[in-house]
Structure 1
């Protein structure tokens, strides 16, 4: 049976790697959360057999990790994941000059301050309450329902629950309907924190491929019909990280197949409003099946600090969700809800701001890639990021080299199951234009390091890391 470490590394990705390169790959897994502190790693002998390498190579690799503080070893006992003490942390871990491309989020909309001021009378009228709401303010649920209706699926407030962000919504859904040990269809690549949530709730991920050009819908539907997974988590609008969008015809086919296979469709719409120049607007997935569960959020269109999301579902599931919610969260703060009511009344202004910012960010990434040479900007009509094909399995090496240049850029495998997608890296288009330009200059230097072989020296450094 393959160990979780080898699943995350991807046996093909580490074929022929030196002990130092293997140690660098494992440091990357630890620092971006794919391996957890305290997790037991395979013995030297077992790992050597899995990777078909010498035991001495495994011993040197674990010695390097132990020296840097990334594993704790007991003679004759186990090897477990650890984090280094402050003296061993990467030299730029707290460096304000570092640029973090692991976060694909924009700063606040210009209208946030005015919306906050306008929300204060509404908030003042609620001072005698607890300050949070299990279901959500009626006027906010009405506003969210109206937005769904405008987009093509009739919705009423009783089908909406307001949550403390999209991840809170996903965790609530999984806590309510989850079944440990069941299968879950996930896109490959996908949003890594959603993948973490599914695995934390005991699901076994079953990947289906997505590229810049879209989904292999035949693979997706065949997978659902043959395996009958309990849930499928999909991002059909401006997919994170590829930017692809499902057509209405594809949505019809996927929704129909989900009904036939008794699969719960969990649809993430947090990126739905991030349109630059797609030129067409599909109907929400919920328009194609009443059983679809939809997650939305204000964080991508207003501000990441506005921790407010929602769930759209049938009334019977809404009742189950509300019954389960108090076991881990008592409700959503009223201040954020009051602000969101004001913001949703200004959707044209919000979407115009988003379009302008993303357009500038996309142009800055395209200009940076042109300077690098050998890398091309894929078709990116909207969304959070550009999904860059490196042409060779160098993603983790590039990520480590970028860290040495004070640029945090997670490698492609962070967005996958099984340690694959080493040919790809995600570049956000959400950062301010000048910051993106600076980051792309650092990426160019890192790319030169990889091509010149300097990334090997970076991996060998006791201070190199990636998150």
Structure 2
């Protein structure tokens, strides 16, 4: 098995790359959080063999990284990841003027305060209980189940567990049903922290392509049939980051194929309610078969600070989830659950607010992109972001250059396995329009630097979390 460094770089993506450019790629991985401080890198000889490059090229690459403080080397010993002196996460946070495009999330809904006030009597009534809520409050589970029923998937409250966010839900599922060493089918690109969770649970990732025009469903179904993965992680509504939506007929076909080969489908619906002007509403994949385990969240429609998510699954899976959950948490905070009940009781107002905010953000990004030569923004009918084509494989270089202009920008490869999609950038449509306008002006300046051959090799790129 190859090293983690080469897995992140992708052999084909660095073929013929000079030492300076290779050092920049590795630096971006470090600052992006994909290589961790203290992690041991391959020896010069081993890396040269893996990348099919000369030993002198690798020696110079490591030398450049060491000179800038991104690795430490012991003569005849190991090479380990470091950060330059004085560059800490706290120091990065002190840059109040920086605009962080690694976070695709809006501020709280205007109704959050009133919902919090209304929730207090419900919370007070729970004071006589233990305060632990392994399944979740019955009224919240029923409210979530009703959302599924309204969308065409018959669901009872017994098929719902309330979690501390969607990523918490994914980790709970993998803890309960995961099998180390098995295959997991994932979209390419996809949500980075889901890839990390699957890696952490020991899965071997098998990618299937998604673009702004949608899925290659023939490839997806043939991959399911050919590799018979244990799990598949899909985002069928306003896919993160491409914004695509999977058609109804393809949903049922994928669910059937997965059921026939014994694959658990983990369907992430975190973005399902983020409709601007799609013009149609697909049925949830949960309506097509019992092998679908659905994850949802309040974070994108209400506020990221509300750590409320849920899992919908058949009762046998729910029982397995409840059996393992106490090993790492004893339930979800009651106050957030009480607030969520109030918010879900007024979904029309909530989704109307989200639609207005996303439309304004999308329009601001579109205006900014139109002023950058070579950039192309696809149709974006909803979701969190626009998946921008930048015309040339310079996404990582642009991300590094953007720091000089106070812009935190995850490169396209951050959303992939193997370091591909260097022509792409994810630009959130969730910021206030005036902040987006400023961000796009900074992006234009960074693009001028990259196209002119100048980019930073010393500024940090702080976005270990991509949301």
Instruction: Tell me which interval the TM-score lies in, with the shorter structure as reference length.
Output: over 0.9
Distance 2:55 2:340 in 1: 58
2:18 corresponds in structure 1 to: 18
**Offset, 1:11:** 2.5
Deviates more, 1:104-113 or 1:371-380: 371-380
Q: Is the 8 A contact 1:69 1:88 kept in 2?
A: no
In structure 2, the residue matched to 1:439 is: 439
Cα shift readout 1:77-130 (whole Å, capped 9, x = no counterpart): 221223333258898553000000000000000000000000001111112333
Q: Is the partner of 1:332 in helix, strand or coil?
A: coil
Q: Which residue of 1 aligns with 2:461?
A: 465
Q: Distance in 2 between matches of 1:69 and 1:228?
A: 44
Summarize the alignment of residues 245-394 of structure 1 with structure 2, pairs less than 5 Å apart. Answer: 245-394=245-394
Count of equivalent residues = 463
CA–CA distance in 2 between the matches of 1:11 and 1:203? 21
Q: How does 1:25-424 map to 2 (within 5 A)?
A: 25-86=25-86, 94-424=94-424
User: Which stretch shifts more, 292-301 or 3-12?
Assistant: 3-12
Instruction: Give the distance between the partners of 1:118 and 1:93, measured in 2 at CA.
Output: 35
Q: For 1:284 and 1:88, how far apart are their aligned partners in 2?
A: 43
- Give the Cα separation in 2 of the matches to 1:323 and 1:50: 43
Give the C-alpha shift of residue 372 in structure 1: 1.1
Post-superposition shift, 1:466? 5.1
Choose 411-420 or 119-128, whichever is displaced more. Answer: 119-128
SS at match of 1:250: helix
Q: Is the CA contact (8 Å cut-off) linking 2:263 and 2:291 kept in structure 1?
A: no
Q: Render the CA deviation track for 1:38-58: whole Å, top value 9, x for unaligned.
A: 322111112123323332222
Between 371-380 and 240-249, the greater mean CA deviation after superposition: 371-380
Deviation at 1:9, TM superposition (A): 1.1
Q: What are the superposed Cα offsets for residues 243-279 of structure 1, whole Å, 9 maximum, x if unpaired?
A: 0001110001100000111000000000000000000
Q: Secondary structure at the match of 1:132?
A: coil
Offset at residue 164 of structure 1 (A): 0.4
Aligned-partner SS, 2:299:
coil
* 3-state DSSP of counterpart to 2:97: coil
Q: What is the TM-score when the length of structure 2 is the normalising length?
A: 0.96
The 1-side partners of 2:415 and 2:340 are apart by 30
Q: Per-residue deviation at 1:19?
A: 2.5
Which string of whole-angstrom CA distances, capped at 9 and with x for unpartnered residues, describes residues 177-198 of structure 1? 0000000000000000000000
* Alpha-carbon separation, structure 2, partners of 1:388 and 1:5: 26
**Does the 8 A contact of 1:24 with 1:465 survive in 2?**
no
Q: For residues 463 and 199 of structure 1, what CA distance do their matches in structure 2 show?
A: 29
Return the alpha-carbon distance in structure 2 between the equivalents of residues 52 and 280 of structure 1: 50
Structure 2 Cα separation of the partners of residues 324 and 2 of structure 1:
33
> SS of the residue aligned with 1:454?
coil
**Distance across 1 between alignment mates of 2:22 and 2:93:** 21
Whole-Å separation in 2 of the counterparts to 1:151 and 1:90: 44
2:371 aligned counterpart, secondary structure: helix
| Preserved contact between residue 37 and residue 80 of structure 2 (Cα < 8 Å) | yes
Q: Given the superposition, is the C-alpha separation of residues 89 and 453 from structure 1 closer, same or farther in structure 2, using an over 3 Å criterion?
A: farther
Q: Deviations over 1:343-391 (max 9, x none)?
A: 0001000100010000000000000001112212101100000001111
C-alpha separation between the residues in 1 aligned to 2:92 and 2:320? 46
> For the structure 1 residues 340 and 90, does the alpha-carbon distance in structure 2 shift closer, same or farther, using more than 3 Å as the test?
closer
SS for the counterpart of 1:161 is: strand
CA RMSD after TM alignment: 1.5
Distance in structure 1 (CA, Å) of the matches to 2:19 and 2:276: 45
Residues 1:49 and 1:162: Cα distance change in structure 2 (over 3 Å): same
Rounded Cα–Cα distance in structure 1 between residues aligned with 2:128 and 2:72: 52
Conserved? CA contact 1:99–1:406, under 8 Å? yes
- Structure 2 unaligned blocks of 5 or more: none
The answer on whether the counterparts of 1:27 and 1:465 sit within 8 Å (CA) in structure 2 is no
* Cα distance in 1, alignment partners of residues 28 and 216 from structure 2: 30
The whole-number CA distance in structure 1 between the counterparts of 2:3 and 2:101 is: 30
Query: What runs of 5+ residues in structure 1 fail to find an aligned partner?
Result: none
For the 8 Å contact 2:32–2:461, the answer to whether it is kept is no
| Native 8 Å contact 2:395 2:423 kept in 1 | yes
Distance of 1:86 and 1:442 partners within structure 2:
25
Is the 1:410–1:466 contact (alpha carbons within 8 Å) kept by the matching residues of 2? no
Superposed displacement of residue 74, structure 1: 2.2
The 3 A distance-change label for structure 1 pair 310 and 267 is: same
1:190 and 1:415 in contact (8 A); partners too: yes
